[in-house]
Amino acid sequence: MMERIVVKIGSSSLNTEEGGLNRERIAYFSRELASLHRQGCEVLLVTSGAVAAGFRRIGYTARPKAVHEKQAAAAVGQALLMQAYQEELARYELVAAQILLTRADFSNRRRMNNALMTVDELLKQRIIPIINENDTVATDELVLKFGDNDNLSALVAAMTRAAKLVIITDMDGLYTEDPRINPQAVKIERVDRISDDILKLAGGAGSAIGTGGMRSKIEAARIAMRGGVSAFIGKVQQDGELTLAVNGQGRGTYFDTKLHSLSMKKQWLGFHSVPTGVITVDEGAEQALLTAGRSLLPAGVTSCEGDFHPGDVVEVRSSGGNPIGRGVVNYASWQLQAAAGLCSDEVSRRVEVTRLEVIHRDEWVTL
């Protein structure tokens, strides 16, 4: 079976320091992608660079900060970016396809499924999908949440059930400290669990061109791992280094996972859904959900917030206020307020619901 690989390239790797596309880098990455393709891999590219590519051409002297200016620059730059990829990939008789996505596309299950079917068909036809955020319609808040497309690449990798996610950066992996400041910093070769200590090692954004720093890349790796996708964060600069990164010999840090790919339904619940309310549970219900694979019953509910209805997605929190998961609720908020803390027999006498479980275990995902 072909191995499916998602490669993410950020703005700083594609553009000149002054702004505009670096065609030599586009040519290099296209050559590396073509090499993976020749080896039989199904290759998807998540690319940044539209705003950086377009702001000089549109007449701005520096990268714009206002939302409408960014969107105008992206409208010009996205066309330039795709033209460059098309021309360079054509040298290897490859065709590129453009897919523009926003958070809203992932939040809507039907749109998410349509995007997946499109990607699957393109890969079946041996075409390389090139995916970017749709900056011309996304708000600035959503642009920041995607973190220079780092999180977008992880969501795409999980959605498409990729074998690996390769995030290319100007650092050769994760270090105990910033090696540019402390030459004694030690590189972390492999990570099998992203703890708070690992997150603390990541700093802020590293360049004026891009918007993503190491922290956003670590958070993307965590999303990928939760979706059953292993990840690599590191440098890819020389001929053959992308293949080395995919094969476990790259200059960077590997993030391994033993988790299996989540179903599309579980992915949507865990990564993309927008909760309409919050349910707080006691310690017994928390353990039943997290370790025993049980459904949530009214007896374990201590309180709820928000205005939700049966079929809505809600966030579940521990007694200490920490999010532990999400699920599809079977109660309206007013019904759950009346049933909270009651045994099943008492709930049946007081509230008329189609299912006794507040959240069935098949409609639940642990965070």
Provide φ and ψ at 293, rounded to 5°.
65, 35
Establish whether 253 is an annotated binding residue: no
Establish whether 256 is an annotated binding residue: no
| Angle in degrees, 0-180, between the axes of helices 150-159 and 214-226, rounded to the nearest 10 | 10
- For residue 321, is it within any domain? yes
Whether 248 and 302 map to the same domain: the answer is: no
Share of the chain above pLDDT 70, in %: 94
pLDDT in tens, 73-92: 999 999 999 999 999 999 99
- For residue 174, is it within any domain? yes
Whether 117 and 197 map to the same domain: the answer is: yes
Whether 326 and 285 map to the same domain: the answer is: yes
3-class DSSP state of 204: coil
Establish whether 56 is an annotated binding residue: no
Establish whether 215 is an annotated binding residue: yes
- For residue 136, is it within any domain? yes
Whether 322 and 213 map to the same domain: the answer is: no
- For residue 270, is it within any domain? no
Over residues 132-158, the mean pLDDT reads: 73
Over residues 249-271, the mean pLDDT reads: 86
Over residues 100-108, the mean pLDDT reads: 85
How many domains does the structure of the chain reveal?
A: 2
pLDDT in tens, 290-315: 999 999 999 999 999 999 999 999 99
Whether 242 and 280 map to the same domain: the answer is: no
**From the CA atom positions of the chain, what is the Rg in Å?**
22
Cα separation, 143 vs 103, in Å, equals 9
- For residue 235, is it within any domain? yes
Establish whether 295 is an annotated binding residue: no
Q: Domain of residue 279: give its range.
A: 275-366
Over residues 228-243, the mean pLDDT reads: 96
Establish whether 319 is an annotated binding residue: no
Which of 265, 293, 327 finishes a domain?
A: 265
Whether 115 and 182 map to the same domain: the answer is: yes
What was the pLDDT predicted at 4?
97
Domain containing 173 — which CATH number?
3.40.1160.10
Question: In sequence order, what DSSP letters do the residues of 218-282 get, joined into one string?
Answer: HHHHHHHHHTT-EEEEEE--STTHHHHHHTT-SEEEEE---PPPPPHHHHIIIII---SEEEEE-
Whether 193 and 339 map to the same domain: the answer is: no
Residue 207 has pLDDT above 60, yes or no: no
Establish whether 109 is an annotated binding residue: no
Domain containing 328 — which CATH number?
2.30.130.10
Whether 224 and 351 map to the same domain: the answer is: no
Establish whether 291 is an annotated binding residue: no
Place of tokens 């049980």: 294
Cα separation, 206 vs 154, in Å, equals 20
Establish whether 112 is an annotated binding residue: no
